[in-house]
Amino acid sequence: MKERLNRFMRGRYGADELSRFILVLFVICTVANMFTRLNIFYAVSLGLLVVSYYRMFSRDHAARFAENQKYLSIKNKLLSKLGLTERQRQQRKNYHIYRCPACGQKIRIPRGKGKICITCPKCGQEFKRKS
Ligand SMILES: [Zn+2]
């Protein structure tokens, strides 16, 4: 039995980040369907399940890989717009970002230095802020 399953899965694409995301959407739609009893959620969740199985059992690795890359690039763009990437979170922990009151230039100040006088590197405006 295990041997047969192994043979069946050989050369198949398997799971990736996109299929995990599709499964999360599937769970959300299934739960939404349970609470609302709307057929649209049922139809969407069924569709998502079909797509995720199709991708996992696919032998066209190049196409599936391209889909996953596209998903990852969209995801990263969204996360960075919301300021949620790992790097941005790290930055916020260690730095304050202030805007120059005169020209609007963003200025990064290390945290925990008390009240300091900041000189804008762009226009030379000075202003005091807590770091
Ligand atoms: Zn300035």
What does the mean pLDDT of the chain come to?
A: 92
On whether both 99 and 70 belong to a single domain, the answer is no
On whether both 65 and 117 belong to a single domain, the answer is no
On whether both 9 and 48 belong to a single domain, the answer is yes
The pLDDT-based confidence of 9 (bands split at 50, 70, 90) is confident
On whether both 8 and 71 belong to a single domain, the answer is yes
On whether both 60 and 7 belong to a single domain, the answer is yes
On whether both 17 and 73 belong to a single domain, the answer is yes
Buried b (16+ CB within 10 A) or exposed e, 49-71: eeebeebbeeeeeeebeebbeeb
On whether both 114 and 55 belong to a single domain, the answer is no
pLDDT digit string, tens, across residues 62-91: 999 999 999 999 999 999 888 888 888 888
Residue 13's domain comprises 2-84
Ligand 1 center from residue 116 Cα (angstroms): 16
Query: Rounded distance, CA 78 to CA 72, Å?
Result: 10
Ligand 1 center from residue 128 Cα (angstroms): 13
> Would you state the pLDDT for residue 92?
86
Ligand 1 center from residue 78 Cα (angstroms): 29
Is residue 89 in some structural domain?
no
What angle is formed at CA 17 by the lines to CA 15 and CA 22, rounded to 5 degrees? Answer: 80
* DSSP state at residue 113: S
> Would you state the pLDDT for residue 1?
77
